[in-house]
Structure formats: C-alpha cells, structure tokens
Structure 1
Amino acid sequence: MRLFGADVKQTLERFGRENPETLVKVHTRLGDFTIKLFEETPLHRANFLRLVKANYYTDRYFYRIVYETGIQGGGEYFDRLDYLVPAEYKPEFTHKRGAVGMARYEEGNPEKASSPSEFFIITNEEEARKFNGNYVVFGQVTEGMDVVDKIQQARAYDEKPDIPVKFDIEVKE
C-alpha cells in the first residue's frame, strides 16, 4: 500500500492502465449504492480502485456527517496512508448531488493534492458549491442515492454520527 514521492503518479498511471474498471458497489446495513468512477480523473480512479482491490475499504465507516451537505468515509486521521494523490481538478465535475470527491489535508499541501483514502459524497448541491475547485470530484453515485440520504440523515453530534455506518466496497464490473 505504500507509495513514495514521484512514484505515486507513475504507479497510479500503470495501475489505471491495467485496471480499467469504472463501477464500484458500496455495501452498507442501510442498503447498497453504485459509484461510477470518472476516466477523466485517472489518478483518482486508479487510486480508489487500488484501495478497493486491496480490501482497504472493507469494514470502514462513514464517520462524518456534514449537516445538509454530505457524508465522509474511508481512512480516518489515525489511519492515514503515507502518500497524496496529485490534484486533477476538472471544471466540468462540480459538487452536485451524488458527486464523489476526495478530501485533502490543508497543512503542508500547497498543491492541493488529495487524501488517498478519505472520500465524501454530496447530498446537497447548494451547500456544497463552496467545494468546487477545492476538492477533486472523481465519481458520481449512479444507483442508490436514497441509501446515501439515509446515511446523511443519521443523528450526529459535532459531525460524528451516533452510530457510524460500516461499509465495504467491491468492483462491480
């Protein structure tokens, strides 16, 4: 799972060429949903697929609920991976309802590279407009948005859900 410096881009480019899949299925206790990964953000697509295929997203949680905006899951702060994904902003991919984007670390990250494992899903486009140009959108929920809505509506305190929703992700194709 480790990647270093300049190797990140080359490793992800190679993995992306060897793994052309674009659909993943997310399984939760509240139901399943499907995400289409964008080929136009090849490093983010490859990185996400790489983690899915390595079972990194097995027994993970949606651990953050941003009021009327979306949900976030993946590797939390204490479980960070040791690399960043180079930024791939595409103006045509905005933070609309169902958009899947990667979080990023603010500190020591002037290139605005993405977190390798923390992703979010937008439930309210109006509230998420401020994210456009600041976080890379690399996918879109294509089926099961009602499940994402159920997760987003969970009771939370200070963005932490009372009962975090566990998930697993697998390649659909």
Structure 2
Amino acid sequence: MTKEQERARAHRRQEKLDAKAVQRERDAARNRQVAVVVAAVLVVVVAFVVLATKLGGDSTPAAAPSASDTPSASASTAAVEGCEAPPATPTAIKTQGLPDKATAAGKTFTAVVTTNCGDITLQLDGAKAPQTVASFVALSKSSYFDGAPCHRLTTQGIFVLQCGDPLGGTGSGPGYAYGLENTPADGKYPKGTLAMARTNDVNSNADQFFIVYDDTDLSSVPEGYSIFGTVTGGMDIVEKIAAAGVSGGATDGPPAAPISILKVAVTEKKA
C-alpha cells in the first residue's frame, strides 16, 4: 500500500470518527431537550395537583366553612378550664331520610348542646329556615350528633367553630342533602350566628354546622350559607376554645382544645 493510499485510508477513518462524535453530540443535545421538556411537564403536573388539592377538597373559597374538608394539623392539644376529656370519635354514621320541613315550618325550638366543655344553648328559627331546622331537630332526636367532635376552628379572617359530623369531618353525611335557606344578601355573619356548612354545591347542606364566635364576612361566597339560628347561651365556651387556638399553631384546623358533642336536647318553644 502506497503512502498516498495510507493517507486516504487514515482520512476516511478520521471522517468516520468525526461523524460519530457529531452524532453523539446531537444525541446528547436531543436528550437534554427531552429532559427539559419532561421537567417542565412535571412542574405543570405538580402545580395542577397542588391547585386541585387546595380547591377540590374544600370546593369553596379558602377557609370558608366547607362540609367536605378536614384541614390537617398536628395532634397538639391545649387544656381548657371546664373541659373534660372528649369521648372517642364514633366509627359509623346513622343514615336516615330527609325530614319533612313542615315539621319545623313556623316554629321556634331551643336546642341544648351538651359538650365535654359545658352546655351551649341554641335558638332555632323554623320560620326562616324550615328545612334546615327540621333536619337539625331530627338528627338531634335520633342521637346522630352524640360523640361528634367539633373538627374545625378558623381564627383568621373567618371566625367559626365547625361541628356536626360524627366522623370528624370525613363522613359523607346522614344520607341526604338539601338546598340553601335564609342566606344574608350582604354576606355578613354576626357573632352568635348558627349556620350550615356545605361544599361548593348549593344543595349539599346536611349535618355539618358552624357557630360564628366573632363577626365574619363571607361575602366572597355569593350564594352564602343557611342561617338557621343563634347562640343564646354558652358562647363563652366557644370563645375559650377559639382562644386556645388551632392544633399545631395553624389558623385553620382541629381545635387545640378538643370539644365534642355529648348529646343534643331539643324542645319546641310554645307561643
């Protein structure tokens, strides 16, 4: 083989090596582009999941009373004078049918809610919210609320103690649901208001209710929440629970001072 042939052969060998190097660089660049695209997709997916978690679980604007959400917090507790240890949370819900609103229409009831921290007395307005009151009275008389923890306290912007689900905010309700009644046009819920919690569905009223312990503006939820009564005694108990704060130091979650309903006694007020 002549020197000229050797040089030509070496040249062809170098060209092949150069071509392979170029291809490797192209492959690496393509892989980097794919990695960037995959990372971007993952960021979008994670952002979507986070957003869905925040909006889907609560289905009403942040921190508004919702019947489908149980904010998580640590298990820290606070001792409050006058409170005994709460009972164990029930493990099942007593389902039943929707009571006839005619049983409460035009009537006024007094409900004494006995808790592990004392009695809270409510006046129920069947004239303005007959279906809501009929439901609350029927659930009370069937011992539905017995042992139910008040599972949610909010302490910033919205000031409510939420109760009514025997399973502590994780239950699916008593087996029925109904629509809104007596919602304030201005979205104002004064201290002492008794109203129903719900999901974003306006027909999802069921068992969960909330007590407003300081004036609260819920005008961010145009449809509002059904007001069906007022607190006439024992507000100091709710205020003590609120003063103890939320478990773990949050502003929305289980109360640091556990409070549970032991029983509810309802009587009709005669004219």
SS at match of 1:49: helix
Counterpart check, 1:88 vs 2:175: no
Counterpart check, 1:63 vs 2:151: yes
Query: Aligned ranges for residues 131-170 of structure 1 at < 5 Å?
Result: 133-156=223-246, 157=248, 158=250, 159-167=253-261, 168-170=263-265
Aligned counterparts of 1:163 and 1:130: Cα–Cα separation in 2: 29
**2:266 matched residue in structure 1:** 171
Aligned counterparts of 2:134 and 2:221: Cα–Cα separation in 1: 22
Aligned counterparts of 1:114 and 1:35: Cα–Cα separation in 2: 22
Q: Could you list the runs of 5+ residues in structure 1 that have no partner in the other structure?
A: none
* Percent identical residues: 26
**Partners of 1:61 and 1:166 within 8 A in 2:** yes
Using the size of structure 1 for normalisation, the TM-score is: 0.80
After TM superposition, the runs of 4+ consecutive aligned structure 1 residues lying more than 6 A away are: none
Judging changes above 3 Å, is the alpha-carbon distance between structure 1 residues 119 and 135 closer, same or farther for their aligned structure 2 residues? same
Can you list the C-alpha shifts for 1:56-92, whole angstroms capped at 9, x where unaligned?
A: 1111111111114010011122252222122113438
Aligned counterparts of 1:31 and 1:166: Cα–Cα separation in 2: 10
SS at match of 2:100: helix
Alpha-carbon deviation of 1:152?
1.9
**Partners of 1:100 and 1:139 within 8 A in 2:** yes
Aligned counterparts of 2:173 and 2:198: Cα–Cα separation in 1: 11
**1:44 matched residue in structure 2:** 132
SS at match of 1:165: coil
Aligned counterparts of 1:133 and 1:22: Cα–Cα separation in 2: 26
SS at match of 1:162: coil
Calculate the aligned-residue CA RMSD, in Å.
2.5
Greater shift, 163-172 or 69-78, is seen at: 163-172
Larger Rg: 2
Alpha-carbon deviation of 1:20?
4.5
The higher-RCO structure (CA 8 Å, 6+ apart) is 1
Which is richer in strand?
1
Q: Could you list the runs of 5+ residues in structure 2 that have no partner in the other structure?
A: 1-94
**2:192 matched residue in structure 1:** 98
Greater shift, 56-65 or 87-96, is seen at: 87-96
Can you list the C-alpha shifts for 1:17-48, whole angstroms capped at 9, x where unaligned?
A: 6x955110111222212100112111101010
- State how many pairs are aligned: 162
What is the one-letter code of the residue matched to 1:171?
V
SS at match of 1:60: coil
**2:215 matched residue in structure 1:** 125
Using the size of structure 2 for normalisation, the TM-score is: 0.53
Aligned counterparts of 1:138 and 1:132: Cα–Cα separation in 2: 18
